[in-house]
Structure 1
Amino acid sequence: MIYVDADACPVKAEVEAVATRHGTAVAMVSNGGLRPSGNPLVEMVYVTEGPDEADKWIAERCGAGDVVITSDIPLASKAVSAGACVLKPNGEVLTERNVGQALATRDLMSDLRAADPFRQGGGKPFGKADRARFRDALERVVRQAKGS
């Protein structure tokens, strides 16, 4: 199963294409507002509004052999602990080895932003190279999860 933290996910179409190629079920989890997919492998899961409701839903269900797509580092940490393979939309794989560092970096950056309310900017734009890197990484982890 592929679980997608779908509200702000920029690679939903890539997930659906790879899942279709491999015959893998997908749960697109969001607070609503997403257009339903006609793909029978894709289940649209709408959770109640509120902070982290989609994350909680995914964390309660994912486990070994599953793939979780998210940019949310606390969710990634829970999913890794549950045995799932976690992939960020830029193709970065989060594992037991690096999720702790990612969580610490996230917390540090949050503290820095809170200390300087005039801080401008954000992340770099999401581009074609990021999509390609994600597609390649998802192909690899889906094949590994299927044992082929």
Structure 2
Amino acid sequence: MKIYVDADACPAVIKDILYRAAERKQLQLMLIANHALRVPTSKYISTLIVNSGFDVADNEIVQRCQPGDLVITADIPLAAEILAKGGQALSPRGELFTKDSIGARLNVRDFMETLRSSGIQSGGPPPLHQRDRMAFANHLDRILARSC
């Protein structure tokens, strides 16, 4: 199993959890972004810088992901593509996307996009809380325990 991170919007605290997990489990962790990232020196951690543009990083992640790999992303359409390829998707807030839940999540996302495009201000996501970090770490540990 490899872990891919949609790193442009991934919070630093979540990346830190992933760095420790990659070292502990000796798993390949690749952070994909459209800008340079600072990561610890490790034979398990790498970065890939892609060109800027709509869905360039997402497309790279989809292309690289194999069945059983884990992708860390808050991007619902990307999570849906990963699940369709047989991968696993986990949000930085600790939400494990599943084939059963992804359809409803896509509908909510599309509805919110429609509201925003019609001029309704929906605000951004709430700040990342300790409970979100704990949910992420717990789900990650369960996934790694099953896979490694």
**TM-score (norm. length: structure 2):** 0.93
Q: Which string of whole-angstrom CA distances, capped at 9 and with x for unpartnered residues, describes residues 12-54 of structure 1?
A: 1111111211111101000013114312201111111111111
In structure 2, the CA distance between the partners of 1:50 and 1:142, relative to structure 1 (3 Å rule), is same
Residues 1:25 and 2:61 aligned together: no
The RMSD of aligned alpha carbons is: 1.2
> Do 2:7 and 2:33's aligned partners in 1 also have CA atoms closer than 8 Å?
yes
Q: Distance in 2 between matches of 1:120 and 1:102?
A: 16
Partner of 2:141: 139
Task: State the identity as a percent.
Answer: 37
Partner of 1:42: 45
> Do 1:18 and 1:135's aligned partners in 2 also have CA atoms closer than 8 Å?
no
Q: What letter is aligned with 1:6?
A: A
Partner of 1:3: 4
**Pairing partner for 1:127 from 105, 126, 129:** 129
1:112 Cα deviation from its structure 2 partner: 0.8
> Do 2:3 and 2:27's aligned partners in 1 also have CA atoms closer than 8 Å?
yes
35-44 or 84-93: which moved more?
35-44
1:121 Cα deviation from its structure 2 partner: 2.5
- Aligned residue pairs total 145
> Do 1:65 and 1:83's aligned partners in 2 also have CA atoms closer than 8 Å?
yes
Q: Which string of whole-angstrom CA distances, capped at 9 and with x for unpartnered residues, describes residues 125-147 of structure 1?
A: 1112111110111111122222x
Q: Which runs of 5+ in 2 are unaligned?
A: none
Q: Distance in 1 between matches of 2:24 and 2:50?
A: 27
Residues 1:100 and 2:96 aligned together: no
> Do 2:10 and 2:73's aligned partners in 1 also have CA atoms closer than 8 Å?
yes
1:120 Cα deviation from its structure 2 partner: 5.2
**TM-score (norm. length: structure 1):** 0.93
Q: Distance in 2 between matches of 1:144 and 1:29?
A: 25
> Do 1:66 and 1:145's aligned partners in 2 also have CA atoms closer than 8 Å?
no
Q: Distance in 2 between matches of 1:52 and 1:87?
A: 18
After superposition, residues 39-118 of structure 1 pair within 5 angstroms as 39-117=42-120
SS in 1 for 2:32: strand
Q: What letter is aligned with 1:8?
A: A
SS in 2 for 1:26: strand
SS in 2 for 1:2: strand
Q: Distance in 2 between matches of 1:128 and 1:35?
A: 23
SS in 1 for 2:57: helix
